[in-house]
Amino acid sequence: MSSFSFKLQDNSAAKSHLHARTGTLAIASAHQEKRQIDTPGCFMYSIKGSVPHLTPDNLRQQTFGGVNVAMEQILQTDQPQSFSKWTNPFAPESQKLMSVADYLHLQDLILLCDFHDSAPLEPFSKRASNTDYHVVLSTPKGIRQLTLEDYLKIVRHYRPDIVAALTDSILETTQTAGNPTPHKKVPSQKRVRKSVDRSLKWLDQVLEERQGRDGMAEDRKKEQEKRTKREKKQKARDAKNAVDGDTEMTPAANEDQEEGNAFVSQPWTDITVFAHVQGAHMKEERIRSAQETARRDQVQGFIIDTNDLWATLSKEHEKRSGEILAHVQTSLTHLPSEKPKMVYGVRTPEDVLKAVAMGVDLFDTSYPYQLTEDGKASLYEYGVEAAAAAPSIPTTNKSVVTNRWINLWDEEHADQFKPIMEGCECYACKGNRHTRAYINHLLKTHEMLATVLLMGHNMHQYSLFFSKVRESIQDGTFEAKATLFSEVFGIEPESTGEKHEAQIAVEAALQKRNQRLETAEEGVVEAIGGAVPAGQPVSKMEDAEQQASKKKRPSQEVEEGVDIAAKEKALKK
């Protein structure tokens, strides 16, 4: 059995009138060392269950204590039905059932399992809506409807430390004839109310099931009624058809139900439940959702997902974060102070500071990830008087001037044999091992080590930022330092999603070559066909490989850019 705890520290000596606080979220269990996240802190952002670019060993160089995994990204099409096949090869006794932490090799971190990507890129690809009986997931294999019953089965098999209760997020897009790309749709008041109601209903059902009670009784009753109706109709049809001959018996539908019942008796109270609070852009609904959710004692933490606000925000970049934070504030006011709150969609350092001042405890690491994808290396520092590391640097977008990061695609770094940040302890910077010049070279040659090094640095600096924020809350300097930060570093320039011109040029040049190499490699894969089957001469493999390398010495085959086929696919998401 593992147990969840969230302890707030007494910072009353710090005498701040802000709501910023420090605490520790911890999971203690008999068979494992205690795992914890110091707050304000982060659950790491992941894609398909991996923190982008970081292999497990490199991931362990980071100090974030938790990771957020999106169910929609890792759920296979035949799950939960195929969970019986889940076995853990690393477990001491064979046939041991695998948890999601085992599957993703994240046992030493606190694993939070939610449904959706906490930092989706615009525009959403999802075009379907949730109903009373299911939520829509956007899986790697396409849209999928997830029922509460399946959700419960998944939770029982995944056994994450913390799970988000099934909730009705409004992440809808519309497609009009004139505008073929899906765009955001402002939800109606009716839809927002429904979202709050459904989320509360599902939350109650989830909490019932968690206690080992039948939370599905009502749903099944309705389902049974429907089925009876269907069967009656079917019988009537059959009776008609019977005139023409024998009819096939419809298979009994009871089996499913019995299987469902078998699960119900098992409580899963060692899994902590976090609940989403809903309400979108409607203040009264936000309040209702927060108040009602807060009344459920079993809920140990709250998630405020601001991604569904996008359609209702103003067009001006400078105003948007203020609007988002105002909605967050509305929810926070009605949530119990002793429990942790997590926010999605608030990620830049200055927004994090504002949210922390309101009493938000938990964030994700999508900010360092997005910097990395753009080729940016962070320079911002919390608590410094001036941006010592760099003066204002114009970036490719000529109007944007920032001192919070550098874009290593910029040619000016090509001869800079110095670390991204002096004194930084990340793998790249430490001992000046990997210089700005080297990372610029890696980007230009489209080598994947570039994002590995950048991600390491950006994640390290983000965690350092949080740890300095915690210190400042404890020693009473938070307010002053937060103000100082915005004076020195301003606000994050709007990300237009535009690629650096150097990146565009490099990618265009490699495009043709990649296509040729990928076509060639297809041939190799076909020839190999998985494990070389017994009896298949390996020379066949060589032939294909040699065709692939077009009669070159394989050692000297041009390598540049081959990786991009895969990388670009990943980026296109």
131 to 170, contacts with other proteins by CB under 8 A? 140
- Non-local CB neighbours of 84 within 8 Å, separated by 6+ positions: none
Pairing of strands 299-305, 341-344: parallel
- What is residue 309's DSSP assignment? G
Q: Within 484-543, which residues bind other proteins (CB under 8 A)?
A: 518, 521, 524-525, 528-539, 541-542
Segment lying near other proteins (by CB under 8 A), choices 301-309, 356-364, 388-396, 557-565 = 557-565
Q: Within 228-287, which residues bind other proteins (CB under 8 A)?
A: none
| Residue 457 annotated as part of some ligand binding site | yes
Task: Considering the complex, state which of residue 205 and residue 458 has its C-beta at the smaller distance from other proteins.
Answer: 458
Task: Considering the complex, state which of residue 415 and residue 475 has its C-beta at the smaller distance from other proteins.
Answer: 415
| Residue 113 annotated as part of some ligand binding site | no
Burial class (CB in 10 A: 0-12, 13-18, 19+), 314: exposed
Pairing of strands 2-8, 23-29: antiparallel
Residue 62's nearest CA partner among 370, 461, 468 is: 461
For 491, the enclosing helix (H) or strand (E) is none
Q: Within 82-111, which residues bind other proteins (CB under 8 A)?
A: 82, 85-90, 98, 103-105
| Residue 42 annotated as part of some ligand binding site | no
Q: Report the C-alpha gap between 328 and 167 in whole angstroms.
A: 18
Q: Within 372-431, which residues bind other proteins (CB under 8 A)?
A: 414-415, 417, 427
Among 6, 438, 465, 485, binds other proteins (CB under 8 A): 438
The minimum distance between CB 308 and other proteins, in angstroms, equals: 26
Task: Considering the complex, state which of residue 324 and residue 548 has its C-beta at the smaller distance from other proteins.
Answer: 548
Which CA distances in Å does 170 have to 131, 252, 278, 338?
11, 36, 9, 28
Q: Report the C-alpha gap between 281 and 312 in whole angstroms.
A: 7
Cα-Cα-Cα-Cα dihedral sign, residues 200, 201, 202, 204: positive
Q: Does residue 58 bind other proteins (CB under 8 A)?
A: yes
Q: Which two tokens stand for residue 36?
A: 């914890």
DSSP 86-120: -B-TTSSSTTPBPPHHHHHT-TTSEEEEESS-SSP
Residues making up the chain, counted from first to last: 573
| Residue 334 annotated as part of some ligand binding site | no
Q: Report the C-alpha gap between 137 and 119 in whole angstroms.
A: 15
Q: Does residue 551 bind other proteins (CB under 8 A)?
A: yes
Residue 24 and residue 423 in contact, taking contact as beta carbons nearer than 8 Å: no
Q: Does residue 52 bind other proteins (CB under 8 A)?
A: yes
Residue 134's nearest CA partner among 225, 202, 33 is: 202
Q: Does residue 118 bind other proteins (CB under 8 A)?
A: no
Task: Considering the complex, state which of residue 113 and residue 332 has its C-beta at the smaller distance from other proteins.
Answer: 113
Task: Considering the complex, state which of residue 253 and residue 538 has its C-beta at the smaller distance from other proteins.
Answer: 538
Among 18, 24, 28, 48, binds other proteins (CB under 8 A): 48
Q: Which two tokens stand for residue 249?
A: 């018996």
Among 198, 434, 468, 470, binds other proteins (CB under 8 A): 434
Segment lying near other proteins (by CB under 8 A), choices 8-16, 54-62, 259-267, 346-354 = 54-62
The minimum distance between CB 526 and other proteins, in angstroms, equals: 9
Among 319, 433, 512, 516, binds other proteins (CB under 8 A): 433
How many residues interact with other proteins (rule CB under 8 A)?
A: 83
The minimum distance between CB 52 and other proteins, in angstroms, equals: 7
The minimum distance between CB 413 and other proteins, in angstroms, equals: 11
The minimum distance between CB 419 and other proteins, in angstroms, equals: 11
Residue 493 and residue 400 in contact, taking contact as beta carbons nearer than 8 Å: yes
Residue numbers belonging to the annotated binding site: 424, 426, 429, 457
Residue numbers belonging to the annotated binding site for Zn(2+): 424, 426, 429, 457
